[in-house]
Amino acid sequence: MDPIELGRMFQMFDRNGDGKITKQEFSYSLENLGIFIADDDLSQMIEKIDVNGDNYVNINEFGALYQTIMDDRDEEEDIK
């Protein structure tokens, strides 16, 4: 994935620009995109991608999540 595109996506989610995405920032940004995820499900998703266990999503962790989403989308397109 293009690092510039990843950086732009990350900045959209990192509302306060501190280099990490909190659960609240993640939830808010998803809701702005029309994606509503239950609080428990969001916590589980962040736990899975929070490799270093700091309860935040950094750009590398976000990149892995984004790549997974894109790969899933590509597979769905191939099926169609």
Report the CATH number at residue 64. 1.10.238.10
Tally the residues of the chain: 80
pLDDT in tens, 10-67: 999 999 999 999 999 999 998 998 988 899 998 998 899 999 999 999 999 999 888 8
Backbone torsions φ then ψ of 23, nearest 5 degrees:
-60, -40
How far is it between the farthest Cα atoms of the chain?
40
| Residue 32 belongs to domain spanning | 3-72
Inside any domain, residue 23: yes
Q: Would you say residue 8 has pLDDT above 90? A: yes
pTM of the entire predicted model: 0.78
Q: What's the rounded Cα separation, in Å, for the pair 53 and 16?
A: 20
Give phi and psi for 57, each to the nearest 5.
-110, 115
Higher pLDDT among residues 20 and 76, named by residue = 20
Please count the structural domains in the chain.
1
